Amino acid sequence: MNYKNILVETRDKVGVIQLNRPKAMNALNDQLMDELGDALLKFDADEKIGCIVITGSDKAFAAGADISAMAKYTYMDVYKGEYISRNWEHIRRVRKPVIAAVAGYALGGGCELAMMCDFIIAAETAKFGQPEIKIGTTPGAGGTQRLPRAISKAKAMDLCLTARIMDAAEAERAGLVSRIVPADKLLDEAFSAAAIIASMSLPIAMMVKESINRAYETTLTEGILFERRMFHGTFGTEDQKEGMEAFLEKRPPMFKNS
């Protein structure tokens, strides 16, 4: 696929996807989402990649779904999946860790896209919100579901009902972002976190991701059982043997992703 709305590069074992529609604040249209899905699934299938970073520009991670593209859609257009909803679930199929590096606006679908990533590193300039109510619609890609889980029902209601925009400091206090850094350090911070993850055993990192995501989908008892079985499963890997032996021999591990 020839990408027109994203830039893709590989930095050692890290796959980087930059949303790139600067004139529209990286508004997420179908073409961009198709390209993003394609790039994500390619990185996921690439044995050399251990972690993926999604980022935007200084001004905007993404200011939401593209309002100019959506304005005329009918219920049938969007319900049948031809437009808008056809390609938003790709990111959930990615099994490798995905970091969102957010500067500027992450609004509506942009905030939802960031929340679909495994964690968010924010620049001090980052701004989060679900302002869809102002344009006569609701969040449609998980905003009403992931926000209450991430930042509490009270704050989710506040943001989604008033369309208030939350700054990076508030987002960190509320638990939406894992760290905040000065804007000019954002990519360095995201790359170094991604490089650390990519230096681990990939299958073990995938198991950690799967286990944490399970916490959102099941009861505590079932989740703990799932985690226990994952933990047991690590003992069937070469990387568990290598990791523990390396610790005992006081040397860095040489993981083989097997």
Site residues for ligand CO8 per CB under 6 A: 24-25, 27, 63-68, 84-85, 88, 105, 107-109, 131-132, 135, 140-141
Instruction: Please state whether beta strands 105-107 and 60-62 pair in parallel, antiparallel, or not at all (unpaired).
Output: parallel
Minimum Å distance from CB 62 to ligand CO8? 8
SS3 for 141? coil
Instruction: Please state whether beta strands 127-129 and 166-167 pair in parallel, antiparallel, or not at all (unpaired).
Output: antiparallel
Q: Which is nearer to ligand CO8, 50 or 109 (CB)?
A: 109
The DSSP H or E segment spanning 128 is strand 127-129
Q: How far is residue 236 from each of residues 186, 203, 231, 233, measured CA to CA in Å?
A: 37, 11, 10, 5
Q: Which is nearer to ligand CO8, 105 or 191 (CB)?
A: 105
> What is the C-alpha separation between 165 and 8, in angstroms, rounded?
29
Give the residue numbers marked as catalytic: 65, 109, 112, 132
Minimum Å distance from CB 134 to ligand CO8? 6
CB atoms within 10 A of CB 240: 17
Minimum Å distance from CB 24 to ligand CO8? 4
User: Which tokens sit at 115?
Assistant: 């929340």
> What is the C-alpha separation between 84 and 95, in angstroms, rounded?
23
